[in-house]
Amino acid sequence: MITPLTPLDWKRRATKLYPDKIAVVDDFEQFTYREFNERTWKLSHALYQLGIRETDHVAVMLPNIHQMLECFYAITQIGAVIVPINTRLHAQEVTYILDHSDSILAIADREFSHLFTDMKSRVPHLQTIIEVVHHGSPKDASPFSDIDYENLLQSAEPVVHEVLIDENQPLSINYTSGTTSRPKGVVLTHRNNYINAADVLLHMRITHEDRYLHILPMFHANGWGSVWTFTATGATHVCLRKIDSDHILDVFAKEQITIAFGAPTVINMLLYAPTIERYRPERAIRLATAGSPPPAAVIERAQRLLQMEITHVYGLTETSPLISYCEWNSEFAQLSSPARADIQARQGVEMIHNGETKVVMPDGQEVAWDGVQIGEIVTRGNVVMDSYYKQPDETAKAIRNGWFYTGDLAVVHPNGYIQIVDRAKDVIISGGENISSIEVENILFQHPAVLDAGVVATADEKWGEVPKAYIIVQEGKTVTAQELDEWCRERLAHFKTPKQYEFVSFLPRTSTGKLQKFKLRT
């Protein structure tokens, strides 16, 4: 007998085995697995009564609150497709996604009322908008919807709709960050999500006793699978509406958090939290980080000051999203702290369930495992997307000869560990020499006065391109361009040293921490 691979089955298991265990904590609200399961089926039945059927698309724009978690299950367990929307987008971008995704219903928080005003007139196929007025929602925002979420649930029955799920049918359409162009809709199937979540369960050692803090946005590749994995073991989801460094440290202690996921920018933010001097963790929190290559200096400081056990993972929305992790080897423990952090900054080895990942030259041949020869990371297997929604040409560009081409350039070390050197489009070619912007950024991050850094190419009459660095200085510290230039020249080949330094108060990053370098190049 073959049953379809879908992460939805894990809620059934958790409800059966742990009905009275706390499933979700959201500030002063909490729900057991029995209550959580009932709320999801109430929402499913309400959506069904509103006309939602199998294969219909439902958009959701919510912070990391319990209603967002409920939507992942309620929408998909009746065979519909969830379209999570990045909460940091502008009105035009939200309109584009709602229109392009063919969503016929949307669920949004009152916080985003200014984005949804007159939305149905802009997106003709959008029939219904459900508004969530969460206890953290702005009190002065105007209602913008047809229906209130909680009123809808109160009037609904928890009717279980028996739907035959095909593991290869779409579960979600996740729109990319749009770092260079309009976002593309990545179609991820039930099987994609199941296999990715199974890898997270295994490699992050998730257990029934875990208490997971939703720092990572659930809209981003379904929280890297976190919306499913912690339900699978009957662990506890702890919601987090807003990202605030002091509040996160407080929740770590108050809710006895054991594990979290987050971008390197979040780690860096915690390191400079005003209350970090008073932070005394009772246990080492396991933290998976990805989104952009984490500087080794940031990893080293986080492990030392926050006592975090950091695992670097790597992937893309198109791969559900994770395909590799920096597997820890006991022999690494003999190294110095900076050397260990340098290894932990690598993208590591392929995960067990997802398929094959390697680094290849333009002719398709695998690079030498010497840490020097550069190629592009490619992957194939169980987590690669079905397609880009309504974009067959873009799908064909990304998936060639049975392999998904990531656009990330990397080397492979003698032990098989992959390490990204740059995005293909971000390599700086100066006088015929290739310069990794990530390598230069890592050196800048090591300077004690640098809070954040971004390096891009700028035009040069003699060399064609040269590196330019954008720097955010830590509060209370000072550094000059000359001092940074001397710092880099001592640690880099001179042609790699930035020729310009610009001090800024802000660097444009996506919600997952990726630096939007195209904005720095303009």
Average of per-residue pLDDT across 238-253: 96
- pTM, 2 dp: 0.87
Multiple choice CATH, 29-181, 1.10.730.10, 3.40.50.300, 3.30.200.20, 3.40.50.12780: 3.40.50.12780
Q: Do domains 29-181 and 427-521 have the same CATH topology?
A: no
Cα separation, 273 vs 276, whole angstroms: 5
Structure-block tokens of residue 224: 């890297």
Q: Tell me the per-residue pLDDT of 63-88, one tens digit each, with 9 for 90 and over.
A: 999 999 999 999 999 999 999 999 98
Average of per-residue pLDDT across 390-417: 96
**Cα 518-316-291 angle, rounded to 5 deg:** 65
What are the strands, taking DSSP E only, across 331-427? 349-350, 355-360, 375-381, 387-388, 399-400, 403-412, 418-423
* The CATH fold of domain 243-423: Rossmann fold (3.40.50)
Q: In the prediction, which pLDDT does 425 show?
A: 80
**Number of residues in the chain:** 522
Q: In the prediction, which pLDDT does 178 show?
A: 55
264 pLDDT more than 90: no
Average of per-residue pLDDT across 432-451: 89
* The CATH fold of domain 427-521: GMP Synthetase; Chain A, domain 3 (3.30.300)
Which percentage of the chain shows pLDDT scores above 90?
A: 75
Q: In the prediction, which pLDDT does 181 show?
A: 59
Q: How far is CA 209 from CA 240, 257, 379, in A?
A: 19, 10, 33
Q: Tell me the per-residue pLDDT of 177-216, one tens digit each, with 9 for 90 and over.
A: 654 557 899 999 999 999 999 999 999 999 999 999 999 9
Which percentage of the chain shows pLDDT scores above 70?
A: 98
Q: Which of 183, 220, 223, 191 is nearest to 204 (CA)?
A: 223
Residue 155's CB is within 10 A of a number of other CB atoms, namely 11
Q: In the prediction, which pLDDT does 252 show?
A: 96
Q: Tell me the per-residue pLDDT of 481-519, one tens digit each, with 9 for 90 and over.
A: 999 999 999 998 888 999 999 999 999 987 667 888 888
* Lowest mean per-residue pLDDT among 134-148, 234-248, 371-385, 496-510: 134-148
Average of per-residue pLDDT across 108-114: 93
Structure-block tokens of residue 466: 């040269």
What is the domain partition of the chain in residue ranges? Answer: 29-181, 243-423, 427-521
